[in-house]
Structure 1
Amino acid sequence: MSHGPGKDRRGRGQPRPFFCATLWPPGASKTDVSHPSSFAIDLPAGLVQRAQRGEASAFEQIYRRFERPVFTLALRLTGQREEAQDVLQDTMLKLFDRIGEFRAEAPFWGWLRQIAVNESLMRLRKRNRQPATEDADEAELEGHDVMLPPAAADAALLGQALAKLPDATRSVLWLYHAEGYTHDEIAGLMGKTASFSKSQLARGTRRLRDLLRIDSEVHSHA
C-alpha cells in the first residue's frame, strides 16, 4: 500500500516503488522496496582513509565506483547530458578538494551524493527556470496515487518522459522517488516549501503517468 505525499515512512536513500524497476541491479527482487539508492556502494575498508592521505589510486577507485551514479543523478536533475558531464567533473573536483572534511559519522556515499545534488541544483538555479513557489492544495494531494503504468519499468521510456518535464518538477520526482528524500529535505535543497515539493510531486506524477502511456503506445506501434 502506498503512502500519500508527506506520509512516506521510508528512510532517505530508499527509493519509492515506481522508479525501482529502472534502478534495480541484476538479481534483485523488484518487490523489495527497501533496496537503497544507487549511490549506496560499499567501499573496501580503508579506501576513503587512503584517499584522505592523498593516494591517487584510491581517488581513481572512488571515481570509477561512483562515476555512473553521479552522472545518472545529474542527468535526471538537469535533463541535459552535457550539463550532467559537467556536474560529474565538478562533483569529483570538490570530492578531491574536500575529502579531508569527511567524517565517518554517516555513509561516504551519502556525503558524496549531497555534493552531486547541490551541484545539479545550482546549475538549475542558474537557468532561472524554476517556477515560483506553489502551495499544494490539500484536497488535490489527498489520496494522490503515485503508481505508474508498466512502461515505467522501461528505462528508455522513463528517461524520455522525464526529459519532457519542467526542471523543478523532474528534480522533485527524482529526489523523492529514486533517492528517497523527504519533502522537507527537498524543500531545504531547493529553497522552497514542503508544500511546493508536494504539489510538484502530485502534478508531476500525473504528467509523467500520461507521458509514459503516450510513449508506450507510440513505441508499441513503431
Structure 2
Amino acid sequence: MHAPAAPAPLRTGFAIDVPDSLLASARGGERAAFEQLYRWFERPVYTLALRILGGGHGGDRDEAADVLQDTMLKVFRRIGDFHGSQGAPFWGWLRQIAVNEALMRLRSRRRHGLEVALDDEPWLEDHAPPPPAAADAAQLQRALAQLPATTRSVLWLYHAEGYTHEEIAALMQRSTSFSKSQLARGGRRLRGLLDEVKESTHA
C-alpha cells in the first residue's frame, strides 16, 4: 500500500479492454487475432520499455524494439496460459511480461557494470508529486533522460504504472528501501532539472 500522501498513479496506456472473443480466437491460433493484439499493444509496450531502458537515444530505441518483439512473442506462446482468473485483465498480464522483459535487460546492464543508480546523497522518503501533467512534455523527456535508467525506471513504475515499492523491489531484485530511495532521489533530481530549465527560460 502507498502511504496516504503519495500521488495517485496515472492511468496506464495498457488499460485496453480486450474482447473475450478476440482472446478465444488468439488461443485458437488465428493469425488475424494475433495481429490485432499486436497493433493494440505495440505502442504501450514500446513506450514502457523506452521509459525503463533509456531516454530515447538510438541504442535505447533499439533495445525497446527488442523488448517489444520478445514480449509479444512470449504473449503469443503463452496466451493459452491466460484465463482471466479472478477477473484479472489481459492487459495486466501482458504488462507484467513487458516489465519483466525490460527489467531483465536493465539487470543485464547492471551485471556488466553499465548502469548505476543515484546513490551519492542521504535520502529521506519523499512523497512530493511528480511534475504536473501540464509540464512541457519535451522538457520532461529531456530531464528524465539525464537520470540513470535504474532510477528512471523506478519513477516510471511507481508514478505512471502504479506499482508499489514492494512490487518494484521484487521486479528489480532489490530491496524495498532501494526502491524508496531511488524514488526520493530521482524525484528531487528531476524537479531540480526542471527548475533549472524554467530558470534558464526566464533568464
- The question of a shared fold, defined as TM-score above 0.5 by the shorter chain, is answered with yes
Instruction: Tell me which of 97, 104, 116 is aligned to 1:122.
Output: 104
Q: Percent identity?
A: 61
Rounded Cα–Cα distance in structure 1 between residues aligned with 2:97 and 2:5:
25
In 1, are the aligned partners of 2:14 and 2:41 still within 8 Å (CA)?
yes
Deviation at 1:167, TM superposition (A): 1.6
In structure 2, the partner of 1:140 is 124
Contact 1:169 1:200 in 2 (8 A): yes
1:58-97 alignment, distance < 5 Å: 58-79=33-54, 80-97=60-77
Q: Give the superposed CA RMSD.
A: 2.8
Say if 2:169 and 2:175, in contact at 8 Å, map to a contact too: yes
Partner SS, residue 190 of structure 2: helix
Instruction: Give the equivalent residue in structure 1 for 2:57.
Output: none
TM-score, structure 1 as length reference: 0.77
Structure 1, unpaired ranges of 5+: 21-35
Residue matched to 2:13 = 38
C-alpha deviation, 1:67, in angstroms: 0.6
1:154 aligns with 2:136: yes
Give the Cα separation in 2 of the matches to 1:195 and 1:188.
12
Paired position in structure 1 for 2:192 = 210
Partner residue in 2 for 1:182: 164
Write the distance in 1 (CA, Å) between the matches of 2:71 and 2:24. Answer: 19
Aligned pair partner of 1:56 in 24, 27, 31: 31
Find out whether 1:104 has 2:88 as its counterpart: no
Q: CA deviation at 1:81?
A: 1.2
Q: Which runs of 5+ in 2 are unaligned?
A: 55-59
Deviation at 1:140, TM superposition (A): 1.5
CA distance in 2: counterparts of 1:68 and 1:174, whole angstroms: 16
Deviation readout 1:112-143 (Å, 9 max, x if unpaired): 00110011001111112455897x97x812xx
